[in-house]
Amino acid sequence: MTPPSEAELGRYNVRPLTPGPESALREAALALGSGTTALPALARHGRAEALAVAGLAADECRVITRELRRLGGEVLSSADGDRALLLGPLSALGELPARLTEWGRRTEVLGAALHAALAGRGSRPAPVAAGRHVLEFHRRTLVMGVVNATPDSFSGDGTGDDPAAAVALGAALAEAGADIVDVGGESTRPNSAPVAAEVELARVLPVVRELAARLDVPVSIDTRKAAVARAALDAGAVIVNDIWGLRRDPEMAAAVAEAGAALVVMHNAAKPEYGDVVEEVCAVLRESLALAEAAGIERERIVVDPGLGFAKTPAHNLELVRRLGELRGLDRPVLVGPSRKSTIGALLGGAPPDRRLEGTLALCVLAAANGADLVRVHDVAEVSLCLRVADAVLRGTPEEILALPRPGPTG
């Protein structure tokens, strides 16, 4: 079989619903329109594995229903068969893709999409190369530190037009434990005014150039403009962090591809209207993956970001963190940026950005527990220490802790 394209895989937008909040699985079943008649099937099968699938043709829905039932699973589908929940033991869902190859190219692609979602849900992503650096995700949650080389950062930590201050901040973040230093020269806070590329370049280029020469960690450029990305990559950046996921500047994908850089594609929306916010975020991120593939960017270099705080209400942001595991169906590393966001302020009675550390720590730990591989934060030292403890629970006890003796007698 010719490997399916990102566009072909993206048609089905497969999302793993387990493990995850039980409410998300129940609501996905009820949203198919079959009412409470779906609940007995959830009771029998939903505790094992569940995959949400969209974009099905009626004959494809009939095929997967027949084949999964033969394997001991169950399919709940919408009235017209375009959406479905696949329920059953992992062994059944794991065998299903091979069964689908017998029915033609379309079901073969569907099988590949199911396989990719299961693979992403079941293991940590492979390392991502970023210039001479390699980002590895199996041992711990990585931390991206934020350098706002702007005078109008929402978080109050902008360094304005002082490159030396921005360089000092970036160096301090790396010393505090940042695995990546992300430099931006245009504020993306709500209702912020856009700046010209020339202004953005004047802010970021001296900073990127100096940090890339000094640091032992990769430098990322946070920009939505291809011209800024190109210049920053020439100055030593090795990652492009695009808040529009290649969907705003038509030259951005080519700029990344030509440089062989790593890439973060974030979800954003000009006119957000969500039904299921997680489903739609996943669908748009798949569009970004397809754009990257068309430009020649290997998917092994791409990280996805659901875009907390971008075109989303506080309720949307919390839902995304709660159901973050569904993004693992994209089979790419997941970056989450909860740092000092207004959602935290709303939850804490209007706390300003400089009083949102505890909320940031909570969301970072919850994101790591629900599937994040990286977090993007301002308070690197505090978050790094917090995640060191959380990862010891989430990813396995460190060797040095296993070697510690038991405490002495008490009482």
Predicted pLDDT at 226: 98
Going from the C-alpha of 224 to that of each of 14, 62, 146, 309, the distances in angstroms are: 28, 43, 16, 16
Domain boundaries, the chain: 6-122, 128-394
Answer for the pair 333, 125: CB distance below 8 angstroms, yes or no. Answer: yes
> What is the b/e burial string over 370-399, where b = at least 16 CB atoms within 10 angstroms of the residue's CB?
bbbbbbbbbbbbbbbebbeebbeeebeeee
Q: Are 312 and 280 in contact (CB under 8 A)?
A: no
* Nearest-5° Cα angle at 72, 70 to 73: 100
Each residue's pLDDT tens digit, 100-136: 998 889 999 999 999 999 999 888 999 999 999 999 9
- Percent above pLDDT 70 for the chain: 95
**pTM value?**
0.90
Between CA 158 and CA 151 the distance in angstroms is 5
Average pLDDT over residues 212-219: 98
Rg (CA), the chain: 22
| Alpha-carbon 395 to chain mean position | 18
Question: How confident is the model at residue 93, as a pLDDT?
Answer: 92
DSSP state of 250: T
Question: Which is catalytic among the residues 224, 230, 341, 356?
Answer: 341
C-alpha–C-alpha distance, residues 59 and 269, integer Å:
33
- Write phi, then psi, for 408 (nearest 5 degrees): -70, 175
**Number of helices (H), then strands (E), in the chain:** 16, 14
The sign one gets for the Cα dihedral 135, 359, 120, 285 is negative
pLDDT at 188: 80
Average pLDDT of span 5-16: 94
Identified catalytic residue from 203, 225, 286, 376 = 376
pLDDT digits (tens, 9 = 90+) for 226-275: 999 999 999 999 999 999 999 999 999 999 999 999 999 999 999 888 99
The answer to whether 341 is a known catalytic residue is yes
CATH class of 128-394: alpha beta
Cα gap 163→159, rounded to integer Å: 8
Q: Which of 13-22, 71-80, 161-170 has the lowest mean pLDDT?
A: 13-22
pLDDT, average across residues 166-179:
97
The SS3 of residue 144 is strand
Q: What is the mean pLDDT of the chain?
A: 93
* Tens-digit pLDDT profile for residues 37-59: 777 777 666 567 899 999 999 99
Lowest mean pLDDT among 89-98, 137-146, 310-319, 383-392: 89-98
Which of 292, 168, 169, 179 is CA-nearest to residue 238? 179
Task: Report the pLDDT value the prediction gives residue 43, as an integer from 0 to 100.
Answer: 63
Percent of the chain with pLDDT over 90: 80
Say whether 230 is catalytic: no
Q: Which residue has the higher pLDDT, 24 or 94?
A: 94
Nearest Cα to Cα of residue 276 among 42, 15, 76, 10: 15
Render pLDDT for 326-373 as a digit per residue (tens, 0 to 9): 999 999 999 999 999 999 999 999 999 999 999 999 999 999 999 999
**In the predicted structure, residue 155 carries a pLDDT above the cut 60:** no
Quickly count: other Cβ atoms within 10 Å of residue 102's Cβ. 11
